[in-house]
């Protein structure tokens, strides 16, 4: 393949890389023009999303980059979610005296890494994508430098992230050593040729490294502390796009590289899913801080997504993708609402802070109720349909027991969602709240619309797109 053909398949990544460097230079020479850099960042991300949606399919750079329906589906969603994070986060930082242009640039660099994860065709591009995305996320977690909790969150995320990267790299080296190639296609041939114990050991380490990236238990230890300490708009970003990118990478590695080893990795994924559901459901029961509570909620929800992937079928991958898209709407909207709430200049982050919120901010209270009921899985909210497709895929694959346990975990988790709703609607007011900023309020209310009535229409076009993406991978 010619150089121009290779570059044509990498247009989204090129747009993001050039855009990030250009905005970095612009910010360095015009440090006060933070709004201009933020606007430029949104424009670059939307341009990359358009380029992803319109680019041709193929394989570039010797198989290291794959442009197919799965990559397109994931990258468009990742870039749009990243674009939403910029207008949510930049004004939030400026109101707190952190007038820096680096925030949009870091979002772009992280999105670039996530795009590479979704398009990776070998273990090298996998690792480069994971590390590029992760390094930007470590800095974003500690972006509020004057806040001790934010600095602590960034440090914890970095240290534990380095550990997971070591596991991932060790597993990748084992896979390469026993397969003789870093390409997923060649690894699949080696895995299918004969029972290779060394190759499966490498796969287990790769799964452990990726499980950390999606915060699946028992590799979830970073999630509650980082969610609590990181700035709220950054948490909204953490909980959405990076999770989809990591789950897409999970699916691609297993489906393209270990197609004939489904029976082996299915057992590991079922265990990860059930442990995640249990930790997320029971761990959230004792939480008072809403960011920690939704950290445990995210652990449980990743468990449902992993359960869909554990089915080992194309239908399971489709269910996982639908689940992740709908979950992204819920979690982004909830944290947007949380970022909009403050009382006397102090952020409202505990359940007690939400007492009587409906009397002060009816729109935001209603939106947070919608997101809580959706995360619970109550019909007709988006979370119900998300869990429905995941459980259906698991049952169709014969995973009746795990599906039932997952359903029980969802019932247990209902307690902490309903407790928040009860406090917002029926408890006495905790005091007057500050006027919410327009950008956070607008994002939260818009997401609430998509999480409720619009989702019934959205499902009709989301399912075929997810099915097309799933069929591009190697599972039957």
Q: Half-sphere exposure (CA, 13 Å, Cβ side) for 239?
A: 34
Write out residues in the chain with pLDDT < 50, as ranges. none
Q: Are residues 235 and 137 in contact, defined by beta-carbon separation less than 8 angstroms? A: no
Asked if residue 277 and residue 132 are part of one domain, the reply reads: no
Asked if residue 132 and residue 264 are part of one domain, the reply reads: no
Q: Counting beta carbons within 10 angstroms of the beta carbon of residue 5, is it exposed (0 to 12), middle (13 to 18) or buried (19 or more)?
A: exposed
What are the tokens at 169? 């790299």
Q: Tell me, what's the pLDDT at 364?
A: 87
DSSP string, 179-227: HS-SBHHHHHHHHHHS--HHHHHHHHHHHHHHHHHTT-TTS-TTHHHHH
Domain boundary at 248, 283, 308, which? 248
Q: Tell me, what's the pLDDT at 220?
A: 84
- Report if residue 353 sits inside a domain: yes
Domain boundary at 248, 281, 300, which? 248
- Report if residue 254 sits inside a domain: no
Asked if residue 471 and residue 358 are part of one domain, the reply reads: yes
Q: Domain total for the chain?
A: 2
CB atoms within 10 A of CB 291: 22
Q: Counting beta carbons within 10 angstroms of the beta carbon of residue 385, is it exposed (0 to 12), middle (13 to 18) or buried (19 or more)?
A: buried
Q: Tell me, what's the pLDDT at 89?
A: 87
Q: Tell me, what's the pLDDT at 461?
A: 77
Report how far residue 332's alpha carbon sits from residue 233's, in angstroms, rounded to the nearest whole number: 9
Q: How far is CA 394 from CA 70, 86, 94, 387, 397, in A?
A: 21, 36, 46, 11, 5
Asked if residue 366 and residue 240 are part of one domain, the reply reads: no
Q: Tell me, what's the pLDDT at 456?
A: 59
- Report if residue 453 sits inside a domain: yes
Q: Tell me, what's the pLDDT at 170?
A: 93
User: Residue 36 belongs to what domain range?
Assistant: 1-158+223-248
What are the tokens at 377? 């899985």
Report how far residue 39's alpha carbon sits from residue 190's, in angstroms, rounded to the nearest whole number: 47
Report how far residue 160's alpha carbon sits from residue 363's, in angstroms, rounded to the nearest whole number: 38
Asked if residue 474 and residue 331 are part of one domain, the reply reads: yes
What are the tokens at 435? 């006027």
Report how far residue 1's alpha carbon sits from residue 85's, in angstroms, rounded to the nearest whole number: 37
Q: Tell me, what's the pLDDT at 407?
A: 92
Which residues, including other chains, have CB under 8 Å from residue 64's CB and lie 6 or more apart?
A: 120, 121, 122, 124, 125, 183
Give alpha helix (H) positions in 345-452.
Answer: 357-360, 362-376, 382-396, 400-426, 438-451
- Report if residue 255 sits inside a domain: no
Q: Tell me, what's the pLDDT at 193?
A: 61
Q: Are residues 71 and 118 in contact, defined by beta-carbon separation less than 8 angstroms? A: yes
Q: Tell me, what's the pLDDT at 476?
A: 63
- Report if residue 126 sits inside a domain: yes
Report how far residue 436's alpha carbon sits from residue 340's, in angstroms, rounded to the nearest whole number: 5
Asked if residue 308 and residue 236 are part of one domain, the reply reads: no
Inter-axis angle of helices 438-451 and 362-376, nearest 10: 40
- Report if residue 438 sits inside a domain: yes
Asked if residue 229 and residue 307 are part of one domain, the reply reads: no
Report how far residue 188's alpha carbon sits from residue 428's, in angstroms, rounded to the nearest whole number: 60
Report how far residue 475's alpha carbon sits from residue 318's, in angstroms, rounded to the nearest whole number: 11
Asked if residue 235 and residue 303 are part of one domain, the reply reads: no
Instruction: Give φ, ψ of 346 to 5 degrees.
Output: -100, 135
Question: Is the bond preceding 218 in cis, omega lying within 30 degrees of 0?
Answer: yes
DSSP state of 380: T
CA dihedral 382, 384, 386, 389 (to 10 degrees): -140
Q: Tell me, what's the pLDDT at 293?
A: 92
Asked if residue 344 and residue 409 are part of one domain, the reply reads: yes
Report how far residue 337's alpha carbon sits from residue 446's, in angstroms, rounded to the nearest whole number: 11
Asked if residue 244 and residue 330 are part of one domain, the reply reads: no
Q: Tell me, what's the pLDDT at 85?
A: 92
Asked if residue 414 and residue 311 are part of one domain, the reply reads: yes
Q: How far is CA 301 from CA 90, 232, 331, in A?
A: 28, 19, 11
Domain boundary at 196, 213, 248, which? 248
- Report if residue 199 sits inside a domain: no
> Where do the DSSP E strands lie in 237-340?
none
DSSP string, 403-429: HHHHHHHHHHHHHHHHHHHHHHHHSPP
Report which of 83, 440, 449 is spatially closest to residue 232, judged by C-alpha positions.
Answer: 440
- Report if residue 45 sits inside a domain: yes
Asked if residue 271 and residue 230 are part of one domain, the reply reads: no
What are the tokens at 323? 């689940």
CB atoms within 10 A of CB 35: 13
Q: pLDDT of 166-220, one tens digit each? A: 999 999 999 999 888 889 888 888 876 665 778 888 889 999 999 988 888 888 8
Which residues, including other chains, have CB under 8 Å from residue 44's CB and lie 6 or more apart?
A: 15, 16, 19, 20, 23, 108
């Amino acid at each position: 393949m010619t150089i121009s053909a290779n570059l044509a398949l990498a247009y989204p990544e090129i747009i993001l890389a050039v855009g990030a460097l250009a905005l970095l230079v612009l910010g360095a020479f015009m440090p006060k023009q933070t709004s201009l850099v933020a606007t430029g960042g949104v424009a670059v991300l939307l341009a990359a999303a358009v380029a992803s949606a319109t680019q041709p399919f193929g394989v570039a750079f010797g198989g290291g980059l794959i442009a197919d329906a799965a990559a397109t589906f994931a990258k468009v969603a990742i870039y749009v979610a990243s674009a939403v994070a910029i207008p949510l986060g930049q004004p939030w930082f400026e109101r707190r005296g952190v007038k820096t242009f680096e925030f949009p640039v870091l979002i772009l660099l992280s999105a670039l890494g996530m795009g590479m994860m979704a398009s990776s065709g070998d273990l090298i591009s996998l690792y480069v994508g994971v590390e590029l995305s992760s390094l930007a996320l470590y800095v974003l977690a500690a972006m509020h430098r004057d806040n001790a909790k934010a600095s602590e969150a960034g440090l914890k995320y970095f240290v534990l992230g380095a550990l997971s990267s070591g596991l991932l790299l060790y597993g990748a080296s084992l896979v390469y050593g026993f397969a003789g190639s870093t390409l997923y296609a060649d690894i699949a041939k080696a895995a299918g040729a004969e029972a290779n114990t060394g190759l499966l050991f490498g796969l287990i380490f790769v799964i452990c490294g990726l499980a950390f990236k999606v915060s699946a238990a028992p590799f979830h230890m970073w999630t509650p502390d980082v969610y609590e300490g990181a700035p709220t708009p950054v948490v909204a970003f953490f909980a959405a796009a990076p999770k989809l990118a990591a789950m897409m990478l999970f699916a691609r590695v297993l489906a393209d590289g270990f197609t004939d080893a489904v029976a082996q990795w299915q057992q590991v994924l079922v265990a990860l899913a059930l442990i995640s559901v249990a930790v997320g459901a029971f761990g959230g029961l004792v939480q008072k801080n809403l960011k920690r509570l939704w950290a445990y909620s995210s652990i449980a929800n990743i468990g449902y997504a992993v359960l869909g992937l554990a089915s080992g079928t194309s239908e399971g991958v489709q269910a996982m993708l639908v689940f992740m898209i709908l979950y992204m709407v819920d979690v982004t909207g909830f944290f947007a609402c949380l970022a909009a709430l403050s009382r006397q200049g102090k952020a409202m982050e505990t359940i007690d802070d939400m007492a009587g919120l409906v009397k002060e901010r009816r729109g935001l209270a209603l939106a947070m109720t919608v997101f809580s009921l959706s995360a619970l899985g109550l019909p007709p909210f988006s979370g119900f349909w998300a869990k429905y497709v995941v459980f259906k895929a698991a049952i169709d694959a014969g995973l009746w027991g795990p599906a039932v346990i997952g359903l029980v975990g969802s019932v247990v988790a209902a307690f902490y969602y309903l407790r928040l709703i009860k406090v917002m609607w029926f408890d006495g007011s905790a005091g007057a709240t500050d006027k919410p900023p327009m950008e956070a309020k607008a994002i939260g209310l818009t997401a609430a619309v998509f999480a409720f009535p619009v989702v019934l229409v959205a499902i009709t076009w989301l399912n075929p797109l997810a099915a097309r993406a799933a069929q591009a991978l190697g599972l039957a």
